[in-house]
Structure formats: structure tokens, C-alpha cells
Amino acid sequence: MKALTLSSYEFIPVCLPFKPSEFTISLPKSVQAILEKLNRQGYWAVVVGGAVRDHLLNAEPNDFDIISNCPKDKLTQILKISSNESIFVPGLFEFDTEDGHEIDLVCTQRSLIDELKTRDLSINTLIADRYGIVYDLLGKKEDLRNNYLVMMGDINDRLEEDPSRICRLVRICAHLGKGISAEYAQAMLQKAPLITRKLGFGAYVKSLETLFLRGEAKTNLKILLKLGLMPFLTPGAQSIKNDLTIFIKFLNRKSYHLDMTDKGTRKSHFKGYHIIALLLIPELLDQINDQRLLGDAIDNVLNAFCLTYEGAFSDQEKTQFNSIKQIMIDYYLEYVNYQARHKAHLRASQAKQKNIPTASSSQSVPLIKRKQNKPTLIQFQDYVKAAEYTSEQTNNKKNSSSRNRDKNLKRI
């Protein structure tokens, strides 16, 4: 196995004292450089989780997670970066490399094996060293071939421990084309209320960003609706009275537009607050239906959110949250215009159907009038029907890479 040649240093002392797997992956030079610098100072450092998993499954990694036993107070000095420790995850530093790769680096006091045991999914326990050599210390590589996602430990306990894993399961299901078993779907639905009851607000915002701002929002939305999770993304969604048929179409359209926006623009122009503002539109419509002015209705919705969100929510975060008022106005006006166009199109279609030519008309092939179904009221509660989910759409999209995936994994 030929190792990658690193030009910066002739010798780097730290190598992992474990037997490697038969796999290697290609790491960006900027990521290699981070691992080099930490190894040079005598600390182990490895890429873990999604980047390793995605390379092995021929998927495009969203970011690079690194874990190291480097003390967090020495990290910025060693790497010469300006990054502050996350206020939500102790020991986590988030920064971008010069070539645009997003890095999440965790400084841990655990042993490497103990740290891997805390990972959420079995396929996220694979690691790679600075040469891209892959290690499977927990023996989970066979799960790469599994059609369904497998959680480390009991699914209910892990979701109770960190409800953001519900969103991660949805996102990874869409990203990899894996399925979610009926057992997992039921557990996700049962624990879904914890998203706004237990998650700190910062973690909540980040979870929404990963669902809607990573290029797979439309597929994630489909899964959320299928598994009945939409009513739990905001505290007041379960009490919505309005028919949501048109809103769901609007949300699907917005998700598509977000997916079509290039990564750089999404990152610079959209944040989790935009997603919250979008998801609060149905509650705003309820308020406006009660004859309230738009400004007052938005204030009521934002105040209700602050009062009913049960996770850690600081005064500073509430102040920043309340600044989304203009975003909500923009989305509301966009929705009203979309609703008007949708209704106009529906009226035009109905009028056209009433004038369908009969078999005696001059057309050689008579049109057949479709059976008219009585419209039904759709609410978020109608989607609470947890069942086994297989991402057929995503599977079809990834079929073109299945041969390469099987080739990479043929020795598993």
C-alpha cells in the first residue's frame, strides 16, 4: 500500500498502533496538513465519521470531522487558526480551510476507542489517518452494505440523549440513499417532541441548517413528511388550524430552490433563522385569519415561540431570534403571491375540464375526463404515520454510482 507523500516534514512521529483495514481514501491536502501539525506535536489525530463513510460509498462529503487528544487550549496555537470553542459542544472548534473545506475538530480526553463508541451511527465509527489509511476499530465496516441505518446502542436511549440525532438520521438517509426501519421510525416519532423541549436553541438552529441548507432539502422534506416529523420542528406547529396543502407545495418549491442554489451562496445568504421563519408561516397564517394585522401577527408568533420553546434559550438568542421579523414578512408576501397563482391555476384547470370535447368532436382521439376527487383538508397531523422508510428517490439518483461503490466494498 503506497502512502501519500507529504512534503512538509520528513518524519512525523505519531502513527496509530492498530491494524489498518484494506481501504484507503483520498484526503484534501489542507486536511492532511491539520493532521500533520497535530501529529508533529505528539498528538493522535484522525478524520472520522461522514467524510470517511462518504468516500467509501462514493458520496460527496459535506465537511470533515477530526478528533484528536490535543488539549483544546493548545489547538489554535498549533494550527495557527482563529477559531473559538463552540458554546454548544465542549471541545469543538469549527473553521474553514483556505481551500474551502469545513472542519469540525473535537479535542477529547477520551481514548480513541472510547471516543468512537460515542458516535451516533455504526458507519460513522470508521477513521482515517493522515495518509488516508482507513481503520475499523469497532468492526462496523459491514454496515456500509446494510440497506438501513444502524445506531450505536439502543435507538430510544440515543435519541433521548441527543434529539438532534433525529434530524441527522433523516439527513443521512437522504444523503446516502439508506432506509430507516419501522422500529427506528417509531422511535424517531416518539422522541420528536424533544427537539424543541430538550435541544439548546443553538443546536436546534444548526439541526435545521443541516436539513435544509446542505443541498438535499427537498429529499429531507419528503422524509420528514413521510415519517410525520414536521409537526415537531417548531413548538406550535401541532396546533395549526389552516389547510396546509398549498403551504407544503410552497415549502417543497422553496426547498428545491435552496438545493439549486450554489453552496457558497447558500452559506453566505441563508442561515437557520431563515428556515425557522419559513416554518413559522402556517402559524402566522392562523394569526392573520384571526383578523390581526401582519406586524402584530408576527409579534404574536415570535413571542409564542419564545414562550413555548423549552430547550436552553438565552436572552441574547431570543433577541437575535426576534430580528427575523423582516424575513417573515418577505416569506409571507412570497407565500401569498404563490397561493394566489396556485388558486388561479387551479381555477383555470377546472374551467378547462368543464369544456372537455366529447367523442363526437373533430379530434381523432377524444380526451377522457378524470374522476374528480373531493378535496381534503391537510394538516401536519395527517403526516403522523411513522412507517418503514426507504429513500427510493435517493436510491435511484445514486444508482449510477452503485457499481463503483460495490467495487470499493467488494472485500467487506
DSSP letter for each residue of 32-44: HHHHHHHHHTT--
Confidence bin at 216 (pLDDT 50/70/90): very high
How is 209-237 classified by DSSP, letter by letter? Answer: HHHHSSS-HHHHHHHHHHTT-GGGSSTTG
| Structure confidence by residue, pLDDT tens digits, 254-283 | 999 999 999 889 989 999 999 999 999 999
Q: Are 320 and 271 contacting, i.e. CB atoms less than 8 angstroms apart?
A: no
Which CATH number is 10-146's, of 3.40.50.1970, 3.60.15.10, 3.40.50.720, 3.30.460.10? 3.30.460.10
| Structure confidence by residue, pLDDT tens digits, 382-395 | 444 445 666 554 45
Task: Specify the CATH architecture of the domain 151-350+377-399.
Answer: Orthogonal Bundle (1.10)
Confidence bin at 27 (pLDDT 50/70/90): very high
Q: Are 188 and 180 contacting, i.e. CB atoms less than 8 angstroms apart?
A: yes
User: pTM score, two decimals?
Assistant: 0.82
Looking at residue 386, what is its pLDDT? 47
Looking at residue 29, what is its pLDDT? 93
**Residue 208 has which C-alpha cell?**
435545521
Confidence bin at 207 (pLDDT 50/70/90): very high
Name the range with the highest mean pLDDT among 80-94, 246-260, 352-366.
246-260
Q: Looking at the DSSP assignment, which residues form a beta bridge with residue 390?
A: 179
Q: Are 179 and 389 contacting, i.e. CB atoms less than 8 angstroms apart?
A: yes
Confidence bin at 104 (pLDDT 50/70/90): very high
CB contact burial 186-197 (16+ within 10 A = b; e otherwise): bbbbebbebbbe
Full strand arrangement of the beta sheet holding 92-96: 92-96, 102-107, 64-68, 45-48, 127-128, 134-135
Domain boundaries, the chain: 10-146, 151-350+377-399
Which residues are CB-contacts of 6 (< 8 A; sequence separation ≥ 6)? Answer: 12, 32, 36, 130
